[in-house]
Amino acid sequence: MVLHLIGEYIKLGQALKAANLVEMGSDAKMVIQNGEVFVNGEQELRRGRKLVVGDVVEYNGDSVEIVK
DSSP for 19-51, written as a single string? TTSSSSHHHHHHHHHTT-EEETTEE---TTPEE
Cα–Cα dist 24/60, whole Å? 16
Whole-prediction pTM value? 0.92
Contact at 8 Å (CB) between 57 and 66? yes
Q: What is the pLDDT of residue 23?
A: 94
Contact at 8 Å (CB) between 43 and 56? no
Task: Give 9-65 pLDDT, tens digit per residue.
Answer: 999 999 999 999 999 989 999 999 999 999 999 999 999 999 999 999 999 999 999
Q: Give the chain's domain count.
A: 1
Q: What is the pLDDT of residue 24?
A: 93
Q: What is the pLDDT of residue 20?
A: 95
Q: Can you give the CATH number for the domain in which 37 is found?
A: 3.10.290.10
38: enclosing H helix or E strand: strand 37-39
Q: What is the pLDDT of residue 43?
A: 98
Q: Which domain holds residue 56?
A: 2-67
